[in-house]
Amino acid sequence: MALTPDRVVRGLLFDRDDTLVVDVPYNADPHLVVPVPGAHRAVERARAAGLLLGVVTNQSVIAKGMATREQVDATNARVDELVGPFDTWCVCPHDAEDGCACRKPRPGMVLDAAERLGLAPEELVVIGDIGADVGAALAAGAQAVLVPTPRTRQAEVDAAPTVAATLDEAVESALAHAEAVRS
């Protein structure tokens, strides 16, 4: 399936772990950051097309007391260095049981990122590897592209409105509907 053809895309939001970088559970160590193959190229293509870019990431490692916000921020800075730069970062520091509005699949981070970027949620595409990424996008009024990994459940793939085999393919889908924001 493809993205909605009549909606203009002006920004992309990426999940961090298993979308931009190889997932290391609860990673808060910048030295363990390894981009997924093709991530830098895909992000660079979107930036070159004039899209605004952000990252929306659940980081319960903070709530669990396994890392500080500063450690997570340092890890995100390393992702920015290797794959970005990104125009905005939205981090949910809460655990699943906390009931916050920001933790994916809730829409809080997507709405926050839209506001920070000066875009309507409808102008965004969220690219991620699990159903929570898709759920957050749809709940916020954005579009979503699922890029499955071996950890993605089949039910999440079946439920996703748009599925891409690779991050580059997901970005290509968005670029087909893109309107540059940057000059």
Preceding amide of 107 cis, omega within 30: no
CA 16 from centre of chain: 6
Spatial separation of the C-alpha atoms in residues 31 and 81, rounded to whole Å: 12
Spatial separation of the C-alpha atoms in residues 181 and 10, rounded to whole Å: 6
Spatial separation of the C-alpha atoms in residues 103 and 132, rounded to whole Å: 9
Catalytic option among 17, 87, 129, 133: 17
17 catalytic, yes or no? yes
Helix ranges, the chain (H): 39-48, 69-83, 108-117, 131-140, 154-159, 167-175
Spatial separation of the C-alpha atoms in residues 91 and 80, rounded to whole Å: 14
158 catalytic, yes or no? no
Catalytic option among 15, 18, 87, 133: 15
- By annotation, the residues acting in catalysis are 15, 17
